Chain A
Amino acid sequence: MNPVAGALSREATQVAVGDTLPMLTRSITQDMIDAYAEATGDFNPIHVDPEYSKSGPFGRTIAHGLMTLAFVAQMLNEWSDGRFDESGEVDIAFVGPVFVGDTVEVTGSVDQIVDRDGIASARVKLTCRAGERQILAGHALQPIENGKS
């Protein structure tokens, strides 16, 4: 077993259909996008080159989709006390761009308890918006035991 597994102290949380997950908020700047590019090595000009992006589909730079997904993972870890890192799963589509100046809000709600490989798991409908714009759509799965995440 990986030595990190189970090393964290967690408070178990009862999980039920209808539960609302915590909201995580991030304000997006070009500096943040540039820092993310540095951290991940993704220097696609659509993210980091304002001149190039003027002729692209959005007319300006957009944040990396995986950066938004990192916010989702952070929110899911806060909710599950780190268990998402161990056994979580997401399946999403990036349906709208994130621009500099946007405030991204990420949350979710448990819409089903399902079986995954014989383990009861919470299916979380994800919500990710910048104002009224939807940024991504999809679900997360988080195995639970005895009704706890």
Chain B
Amino acid sequence: MSTYRRYDEVAVGDVYPAEPLTFDVSAEVVDGFLSATGNDGLLYRELGGTRRAPSMIASAYLIDLLIARRSPPGGIHAKQSIRFHRPIEVGEKLSIQGTVVEKYVRKERSYVVSSFEARGADGTLVSSGHITSIWGKDL
């Protein structure tokens, strides 16, 4: 049996994962992200004992979220909205969860729209938004 979900198994209202996943904003993750995106990291140097992390480290935790959705490989990220509610710092632990809010087929492509929220350990909202994906071919 495939570990991936079929498109017809996805329903509006699905929450994934069942319990929010956690994401450690480690120095290693931040350094890897800055290096891969050619960012010299001037904004992200340690200052007064704290070190800010780039907001778009969201790229990493959103992928973890999409993996938790168990969509098959070959899917395409079609649209993205994201709002940042506060800065984050290296060393934080975030909790992320998504909800399927829309499904539709257009031009023979199967779309899934999810909302998501990422929160800090204190419960404060870090980011929120929507991801629109073209579902990969069912396996």
> A-side interface residues toward B, CB under 8 Å?
2-5, 7-8, 26, 32, 35-36, 38-42, 44-46, 56-57, 64-67, 69-71, 73-74, 77, 82, 84-94, 141
Total chain B interface residues with beta-carbon distance under 8 A: 44
CB contact under 8 A between A39 and B60, given known A7-B48, A45-B73: yes
Q: Are A38 and B36 in contact (CB under 8 A)?
A: yes
Sorted nearest first, the 7 A-B pairs with minimum C-beta distance are: A39-B32, A35-B36, A91-B81, A89-B83, A66-B59, A85-B55, A65-B77
Besides the contacts A2-B120, A65-B77, A69-B59, what 13 more A-B pairs have beta carbons closer than 8 Å?
A2-B89, A2-B124, A36-B37, A39-B35, A39-B60, A64-B59, A66-B80, A67-B59, A70-B59, A88-B55, A90-B81, A93-B79, A94-B79
> B-side interface residues toward A, CB under 8 Å?
29, 32-33, 35-39, 43, 47-48, 50-52, 54-56, 58-60, 62-64, 67, 73-89, 120, 124, 132
Q: Are B80 and A40 in contact (CB under 8 A)?
A: no
Q: Are B37 and A65 in contact (CB under 8 A)?
A: no
Inter-chain CA distance A73–B39, complex, in Å, is: 11
Inter-chain CA distance A139–B47, complex, in Å, is: 31
A-B contact pairs, 6 of them (CB 8 A): A7-B50, A45-B73, A45-B74, A66-B62, A77-B54, A90-B82
**Which residues of B are found within 8 Å of A87, using beta-carbon distances?**
84-86
Tally of A-B Cβ pairs under 8 angstroms? 138
Inter-chain CA distance A2–B51, complex, in Å, is: 11
Nearest CB of B to A106, in Å: 11
Q: Are A2 and B86 in contact (CB under 8 A)?
A: yes
Q: What residue in chain A is nearest B33 (Cβ atoms)?
A: A39
Nearest CB of B to A6, in Å: 9
Inter-chain CA distance A141–B47, complex, in Å, is: 27
Nearest CB of A to B52, in Å: 5
| Most chain B CB atoms below 10 A, which of A26, A42, A57, A71 | A42
Nearest CB of B to A128, in Å: 13
Q: Are B73 and A44 in contact (CB under 8 A)?
A: yes
**Which residues of A are found within 8 Å of B86, using beta-carbon distances?**
2, 5, 86-87
Inter-chain CA distance A93–B113, complex, in Å, is: 13
Inter-chain CA distance A108–B35, complex, in Å, is: 24
**Which residues of B are found within 8 Å of A86, using beta-carbon distances?**
55, 84, 86-87
Inter-chain CA distance A21–B104, complex, in Å, is: 36
Q: Are A46 and B80 in contact (CB under 8 A)?
A: no
CB contact under 8 A between A74 and B82, given known A8-B47, A84-B55: no
